[in-house]
């Protein structure tokens, strides 16, 4: 379970690498757009705050979270230093939630094994839209901020 101690929305700036020389791709799902836009904003603002040039932050839109895998795979051919995938899957009445969540997690994991640019997983998988809102700029922080910090750390491993 997430705790205040392992939440990165409040983080130690001195441990985050400077982003001035980096080019970063953000693949953004249109499903649950209010949430994914808030995650995107959190990520982009954080990258800029760490000196990534706006021209070096490239957004690629995909229809749904399932398409994040193809979008990120495509982005891996485009000379980014790191890629952030942004999505929001919310539990409905059917098992669609499980299939999409599992497929995306495994798909992104596989892309991380191919030796190309690392792919950061910023996909919320919540029971309700309220939980997603709380994690995209609400009282549980913004996972987009956390993804941006993770991305900068992954480039400089």
Are β-strands 119-126 and 24-29 bridged in parallel, bridged antiparallel, or unpaired?
A: unpaired
Structure tokens at 30: 């249109």
| Least Cβ distance, residue 107 to ligand DLZ (angstroms) | 11
Are β-strands 136-138 and 141-142 bridged in parallel, bridged antiparallel, or unpaired?
A: antiparallel
Structure tokens at 128: 């309700």
- Decide if residue 103 touches ligand DLZ (CB under 6 A): no
| Least Cβ distance, residue 134 to ligand DLZ (angstroms) | 16
Q: State the residue for tokens 């098992």.
A: 95
* Contact assessment for residue 111 and residue 145, using Cβ atoms and an 8 Å cutoff: no
| Least Cβ distance, residue 109 to ligand DLZ (angstroms) | 17
CA dihedral 61, 32, 147, 3 (to 10 degrees): -170
- CA–CA separation, 138 vs 155, rounded Å? 28
- Stretch touching ligand DLZ by CB under 6 A, among 2-10, 86-94, 135-143, 146-154: 86-94
- Decide if residue 131 touches ligand DLZ (CB under 6 A): no
**Which one of residues 58, 90, 134, 155 is an interface residue with ligand DLZ (CB under 6 A)?**
90
Instruction: Spell out, one character per residue from 42 to 71, where the chain touches ligand DLZ: x when CB under 6 A holds, - when not.
Output: ---------------------xxxxx----
- State the DSSP H helix or E strand holding residue 62, giving kind and residue range, or none if neither: strand 57-62
Residue (23 or 135) nearer to ligand DLZ, CB:
135
- Catalytic: 96? yes
| Least Cβ distance, residue 94 to ligand DLZ (angstroms) | 7
Q: State the residue for tokens 């808030």.
A: 38
Provide the annotated active-site residues. 96
> Where do contacts with ligand DLZ occur on this chain (CB under 6 A)?
29, 31-32, 63-67, 87-90, 92, 96, 100
């Amino acid at each position: 379970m997430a705790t205040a101690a392992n939440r990165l929305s409040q983080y130690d700036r001195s441990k985050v690498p400077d982003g001035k020389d980096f080019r970063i791709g953000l693949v953004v799902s249109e499903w649950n757009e209010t949430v994914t836009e808030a995650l995107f904003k959190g990520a982009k603002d954080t990258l800029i705050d760490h000196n990534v040039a706006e021209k070096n932050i490239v957004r690629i839109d995909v229809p749904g979270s399932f398409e994040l895998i193809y979008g990120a795979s495509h982005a891996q051919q485009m000379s980014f230093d790191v890629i952030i995938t942004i999505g929001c899957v919310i539990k409905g009445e059917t098992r669609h939630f499980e299939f999409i969540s599992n497929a995306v997690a495994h798909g992104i994991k596989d892309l991380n094994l191919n030796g190309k640019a690392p792919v950061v997983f910023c996909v919320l998988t919540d029971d309700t839209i309220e939980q997603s809102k709380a994690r995209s700029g609400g009282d549980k922080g913004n996972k987009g901020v956390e993804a941006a910090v993770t991305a900068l750390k992954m480039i400089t491993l």
